[in-house]
Structure 1
Amino acid sequence: MLSLEISLNGELKSVAGVPNAESIEARVFTAPQLDETVLVVSGSVEIQGEPNAEAAWLSAPLQLGDVVSVRLVEHVSPTVPTLHRYDPSTGASDGVPISCSFCGKSSNQVEGGMLASSRAVICRACIQYLHTLVADEGCT
């Protein structure tokens, strides 16, 4: 199947692909205020009879000078992704967990539960982090 082969500094990190993928992406996120840069490989997967799910293959910290290689390949047995959804209103019944829209942790990975709107969820740890960030920055 069509896949993305992801290497970091010459080391194979993931082969991202599934037969029912609608998208597979490799992205670099940077948060200068946190001194953090991350390589993320994710996508969208079609699940028959259910709403699409988000797929995650890789999240790896990056440093200046790192070499990231992305190669389009045909692969028989790619890395199995972690599946999740961010939208609690989908009505899915397949057991794919709902995850925090901010940190990506699933509901069974967080303490204290999650709060949901009609289109997103956030865990209590992210609420606390955002509260601290706003308080420290003096945001109103």
Structure 2
Amino acid sequence: MPPAQQRSETQARVDAWTWAVRLFKTRSDAAAACRAGHVRVNGVTAKPALTIRPGDEIRVRSGGLERIVVVERIIHKRVGAPVAAQCLIDRSPPPPPREVLATLPQRERGAGRPTKRERRETDRLMGRTD
């Protein structure tokens, strides 16, 4: 390989690394999340080709939750879950308890827009007044 195309063992693209350590299911999902602004490296919004190094903090927002990981080791290929766990330090906050999630109002799928009466009831539950 020409020198410009050789892989470095101390740095990698953020989209490839987040896919390799199983933060995303596919590499294209990782790249799309970067383009959408859901991935931040050391507090800065990351493009897919941003180079990361050991010690960088990566924040990934997906599924309504935020994952905070610190790069421990650089890998370029997707590996098994036990090996992937050794490549990062997970500093994510614990997910909210199920009791809290159960108290949030949810609508039936396909129920359409809330009626005026339902909206007023929701506002009352949330403590909003006009």
Task: Report if TM-score (shorter chain) is over 0.5.
Answer: no
Greater Rg, structure 1 or structure 2? 2
- Length-normalised TM-score, structure 2: 0.26
- Length-normalised TM-score, structure 1: 0.25
Structure with the largest fraction of helix: 2
